[in-house]
Amino acid sequence: MKALQSFPLGSSGGPDGLTPQHITDLLSGATDDSFQQVLVDFVNVLLTGSLDKEVFDGTLLALDQKDGGVRPITVGYTLRRLAAKCANNHVIARRSKALQPQQLGVGVAGGPKQLSMLYAGW
């Protein structure tokens, strides 16, 4: 639920059109926890890596840049993005403390400020 709620409001869906808001609406309309459990089970299957990667490849778009270049953008599936958020939250909660002081940018409150103070004397 924490990972699902971390999507910004209005996040778009992937190639299938499923948005985080669709999932939130389905969960809020459920009369029991069965859909939430199915969602958790599915995310866990994704995280095992047992599905073919092609199942959740995104759609690659080439956007023109003002300078004439091309900016590649991948629109990923919402369920894959949800699984990635769950994996990131799991790792950040368990490893960010062990990686300090070398890594202060992720999972560390005030990390960038700590880093700037650390290197202020340079």
Q: Read off the pLDDT of residues 34-66 as tens digits, 9 standing for 90 and up.
A: 999 999 999 999 889 888 877 777 888 899 999
- Give the pTM: 0.72
Mapping DSSP to helix (H, G, I), strand (E, B) and coil, where does residue 14 land? Answer: coil
Mapping DSSP to helix (H, G, I), strand (E, B) and coil, where does residue 70 land? Answer: strand
Mapping DSSP to helix (H, G, I), strand (E, B) and coil, where does residue 9 land? Answer: coil
The pLDDT of residue 119: 63
- Please write the tens of the pLDDT for every residue from 25-38: 999 988 888 999 99
CB-based contacts of 85, cutoff 8 Å, min separation 6: 3, 4, 6, 7
